[in-house]
Chains A and B, each alone.
Chain A
C-alpha cells in the first residue's frame, strides 16, 4: 500500500525545474507532501484533496489526479534551499492514517 515515488533522486542547477511523482495502487482520499532536510524532521508543504486540484507554496505546486491515483510535485526555478528529501503521504480513506513513499532526494547545486 506504500505509494511509489519517482525519481528516487534528482540533481539540479539553481533555476532549473523538477517534477516528482507519487502513485498509488489504491484510490486516494488525500495526498500530502513534505520536505525533510538532513537531520531534521519532515516539514509539511501542502495537502491535496480534490481530483485535479493544484495547490501552491512559493514556487512549489502540486496536482492530484484521482482517476490515475497520482500526484505530482512541481518545483520551478529551484533554489539552493529546495534541497532535501521530498515525501508524499497518502490517505486511502478518511481514517487519518497517512502512509509515506520512499522519498525523492533533491540536490540543488549553484
Chain B
C-alpha cells in the first residue's frame, strides 16, 4: 500500500500566480479531505469528497480556492491567484467509512506552499 501521495512536496511561487496541488488517495477509500495547517489556525478542513462528489466546501476560504476530484484516484486543489497569506502546509487525507465501521484518516506527506 503506497499510502496517500501528494505532489509537489514544496512549492514556492510569487503572489498572483496559479498554484495546483495534487493528491492520490489510497485505493478503495471512499473519502478524500483537504486540510490546511498553519501555526495560527492549526489543521483546518477546507473541503471533503465522498465517492468523488464534494460534500462540504464550507472551509474553503475564498473563491480563489477550488478543488476537484475527477475520479477515485486523483484530486486537485487550486489557488488562483495566490496570496502570501495562503502560505501553509496543505495535507490531503483519505479514509474508508461506512455505517458499521469507523476508520482512521491516512494523511499524505503534505505540500509546503510558500507565496512570496
Contacts and interface: CB of A to CB of B under 8 A. Distances in A.
Interface residues of B, number: 24
A12 interface: no
Interface in B66-103: 91, 95, 97, 99, 102-103
Contacts of A99: 45
A41 B110 contact: yes
B109 A47 contact: no
Chain B interface mostly: strand
A17 to B, nearest CB: 25
A87 interface: yes
Given A96-B31, A96-B95, A97-B48, A42 B102 contact: no
Chain A interface mostly: loop
A98 interface: yes
Interface residues of A, number: 24
29 contacts: A2-B42, A30-B102, A32-B104, A41-B91, A41-B108, A41-B110, A42-B43, A42-B105, A43-B107, A44-B105, A44-B106, A49-B102, A87-B43, A94-B97, A94-B99, A95-B55, A96-B50, A96-B95, A97-B45, A97-B48, A97-B56, A98-B33, A98-B95, A98-B105, A99-B45, A100-B35, A100-B43, A100-B45, A101-B42
A41 B107 contact: yes
For the complex of A and B, the 10 pairs showing the least CB-CB separation, nearest first, are A44-B104, A41-B107, A100-B43, A102-B42, A96-B97, A96-B31, A30-B102, A42-B107, A103-B42, A41-B109
